[in-house]
Amino acid sequence: MARTGANVQTDVDRILEAIVYLYTESRRVTKESARAHGLTGPQVTALKILEGFGTLSLSELGARMSAKSSTVTGLVDRMERDGLVRRRRSPDDRRVIHLEPTPAGAALAASIPVTAMEVFQGALTSLSKDDRAELTRILSILAERVRVEIDRRENLGD
Amino acid sequence: MARTGANVQTDVDRILEAIVYLYTESRRVTKESARAHGLTGPQVTALKILEGFGTLSLSELGARMSAKSSTVTGLVDRMERDGLVRRRRSPDDRRVIHLEPTPAGAALAASIPVTAMEVFQGALTSLSKDDRAELTRILSILAERVRVEIDRRENLGD
DNA sequence: CGTCAAAGCTTCGCGTGCTAACTATCCGCT
DNA sequence: AGCGGATAGTTAGCACGCGAAGCTTTGACG
């Protein structure tokens, strides 16, 4: 274990801790902003995605939100209940359900600024330009590596 | 809006997306590892923290897990039900409840490798040493800035 | 000494989020 | 045509996770 030295583990810990913190806070901030409009965080996320695409299937929405289909079902149930979106069965493929915002949902989406992450924007702009670019670059690499690693494991494990 | 230019928003988006992805995956991996021992992710986290400290109050545990007290209550309820920890009222301050792992809980904690984040270790060690150091440095700054920004907002808002 | 705000936990209600199991539909292959 | 696996959604059951409201205990302050 720890072939590469103990300080790697320290970095892992620090990075993980920072990521967890940043994620938690980003969700909290989003939630707070959503709340001001009578919505929840995921609902705003979904509405904003729909606003961009107009119509999406449940699975497409789920993919863009990194959520499983059963989660999306529940989310959409509540959004439909609250008159934000409408389900419509696809004529092409009867398994598929298309989702579109209602006028009310669309209006609400438009009224919510994308600045749910103002806090991050503030923090990120306070970084130097170089640091920001570096962060983007390295995080992208990291995400890609993790993706690959997970794929590898799944193909081994099963 | 976007006083500082559109490419900042792009960076924010990319960084946020990467963070969400990494967080989601880290939780998934942790959960999977926990599952193999019949536990949930947060339960492992709590046990591991308790393993390090021996005894903690509920609020101290909550602080270390970034969880609210009502969340901790439920988590500890289930862990107590499953014989992993024990609640004990503090003699000094009768509001406080001390938490300690049962022998079974302690044994379980010891048997679970900290390597729930093996995937990350793999990905991170595949980064160059410099990139890893850079990432740690920048993320730390970012987390600190966000912390400050949030404090600032809370003192303004209220 | 009494009051009263604050701290520590719990309870309740709600909204995620996941896995497992199930239904309906589609599609490839024979 | 029809079998059989894959795909899209739903349902059920569980564990978080949070905010609001409530309880007990503490400690500060008049």
Tell me the pLDDT tens digit for each residue of A17-32: 777 777 777 777 778 8
| Residue B91 included in any domain | yes
pLDDT digits (tens, 9 = 90+) for B82-129: 999 999 999 999 999 999 999 999 999 998 876 545 667 777 778 888
| Same domain membership, residue B137 and residue B65 | no
Interchain CB distance below 8 Å, B139 and A24 = no
Distance CA A94 to C1' D23 in A? 54
Predicted pLDDT at A89: 95
| Same domain membership, residue B70 and residue B143 | no
| Same domain membership, residue B134 and residue B69 | no
Contacts of A16 in chain B (CB under 8 A): 26, 117, 120
Predicted pLDDT at B5: 47
Contacts of A142 (CB under 8 A, 6+ apart): B18, B22, B123, B124, B127, B135
Instruction: Give the closest of A1, A12, A25 to B150, CB-based.
Output: A25
| Same domain membership, residue B65 and residue B139 | no
Instruction: Give the closest of B12, B121, B143 to A117, CB-based.
Output: B12
B115 vs A137: CA distance, rounded Å: 26
Q: In sequence order, what E strands does chain B have? A: 56-57, 85-89, 97-101
User: Average pLDDT, stretch A74-101?
Assistant: 96
Contacts of B123 in chain A (CB under 8 A): 142, 145-146, 149
| Same domain membership, residue B62 and residue B25 | yes
Work out how many domains chain A is built from and give that number.
2
Query: The domain spanning residue B15 has which CATH number?
Result: 1.10.10.10
Q: Which residue has the higher pLDDT, B81 or A157?
A: B81
